[in-house]
Chains A and B, each alone.
Chain A
Amino acid sequence: MYKTLNAPHVLQVEISSLCPNRCQHCYNFWRKSGGTDSSASLSLDQATRIMDQIIANQVFHIVLTGGEPLLNKSVLFHMLDMASKGKVTTAVNSTLISLTEDDANRFKELGVSVVLTSILGPTAESHNEIAQQKMAFERTIEGIRILQKAGVHVAVNMVVSKRNQHLIRETANMVKSLELKGFNCTRAGCPGNCLDFSEFSLDLGEFRSYLEELHSFGVEENMKVDVLSAYPLCGIKEVNKYQGFTTRRCMAGVNTLAISASGEVRPCTHLDMSYGNLLTENLQDVWKKMSEWRDGSLIPETCKVCKVLPWCGGGCRMEAKMRKGAISNPDPYASPADVDYVHTLIKSRKRVVTPTPSLVRLNPKIRWRKESFGAAVFVGTRFACYLNQEGFRLVQELPSNTDLSTTDLAKKFSSVQEGFMSGLIERKVLVKV
């Protein structure tokens, strides 16, 4: 189903499995099980060995997470420093509990692109009840202020379950009052150690209500809203109204993976399935062992024949495993009865054509990595596109730091796929001068 890349684009590294919070919905599979990973933290030596592999394999971007990465500060800043020197962009996921002004300033110095934190309700009472930690809300809010003061980009995600679904709008308003640009809101996924998540999981009706609440808040308040997980399109149903929520797709084992605090390599942070250990094995060898995530064998049978699959991908495999009994079962929010409707909506989408600027430049934040078919291209912290061999050759030939006439480029690009130049502009490989 998917081509095999030379290595993942993005890695999430859980540098400590410890966390000050005890969130009721926490997706860390070791959290309540007392499993072997429950007290693991990477050492400096282990972190160095992992970073050496990340840099050698030209991984574009890493997210340092946990548990709580600030509980392993020396390793956190060591990895950020190595990444910065190795031209790997970084982000941090944190509760912000124990964040200091010095930490925030170091994030800024080391070029951390964004720090993501969770807000679970609009008040201390609602947040702390779910986080099961006194003062968690107050400390997280203080952490946001510290990051803002240091000029570090901070993003907030509300994890939504039955416990706090009624608080989405209040929470979004509170986040807006913090002068944050956006509000992310994501359904709680069933943890890998949980036999019954029914008191937290939204049902399909609640799931769609949550999407509507989030969308309408964004429209009414003119605030950017997003979801941070991949939902099946037939579950979303109104895919054009909520088009912004349809761009994510499970790419576990396809272009991303997770590394635990003991070096275990998993397709995604939510999953408890290890395919090897980066402290004893080569990343490329472990990556090859994850082929079942790329060959379609984990895609549900009903999705394999679905005409929407190329846009969808089948939703979350962890949700299927934990709530539907098998990893290759349908995502619990899948609604096959709505597939025809969704397909009609997708086919009715019109591409927005933006005027071509007269002058462009090659984006100075461009990075690429050779692949068997051509190249994978990133712009800043974000995936831009895949290029075939000829497309890659053309882009490589473009001079950097030089104004380029789009008229001249059109002549140079005379033997290319239709829309190639406009696609490069749309994907910010070329930027308007």
Chain B
Amino acid sequence: MSDRSPGLRLLSLLGCVLLWHVAATRHLSLPGLVTFANVPSPAEVLQAAWALLRSPKLAAHLASSLARVGAGFGAAMLVGVGLGLLIGRVRWVRAALLPPLEVLRPIPAVAWIPLAILMFPSSEASMVFVTFTGAVFPILLNTIHGVEAIDARLVASARSLGTRRWRLFSEVVAPAAAPSIVTGLSIGMGTCWFCLVTAEMIAGQYGIGYFTWESYTVQNYPAIVVGMLAIGALGMGSSALIRWAGDRLMPWYRPQRGAR
């Protein structure tokens, strides 16, 4: 479906921008429901984007956001994959850790923000914690799922070939669960950005989320949309980066169904 009718795909995108343009310049309004009176037009957004690109603050915004995502996601990857492998394979670890994790899992990471601000000495640390919380559960659950789905015959064969306890993890369990882990990392990366942006709006000094919210408070409306688009692009880009790295690291893996 990716290569078929690129013309149509482009046309549909252009159509949407055109609709946006018309709605914004005509100040379309459905009274009491929604109004485009304060929505900037595509041209204004383009100008604001250009202004941001030339602004010295862009690098600072990007750097803070990327550093927070890097720290939160990195920690979530270590904890999620490490615990996931153990919970999936070792019965007593599962019995000990799964109940508290099951209690924490349904709490959205964003709901942690007030408590995180109270718990951590700096707002920086609390934002990293919130992004960590957002990313860790998809990674953990996909890792557990990947470990549980391993063909028992594969493990039996490995043991018959002399693979002992810890080698079994590095040689068999981790690579067999790798496709599922990559899926978890990719989903986790998405939720990571989502949580970061929300946290930055509340506690941030710099960062793309902070930039978006600041633009609202100083009534620089076109910049809001620039911030939104930047957040989308960063989230999509980093998820694509993970899938690309996954494909490079797993040349042996081809999904049977195109669902992943």
Please indicate whether A and B come from the same complex rather than being unrelated chains. Answer: no
Interface residues of B, Cβ cutoff 8 Å to A: none
Interface residues of A, Cβ cutoff 8 Å to B: none
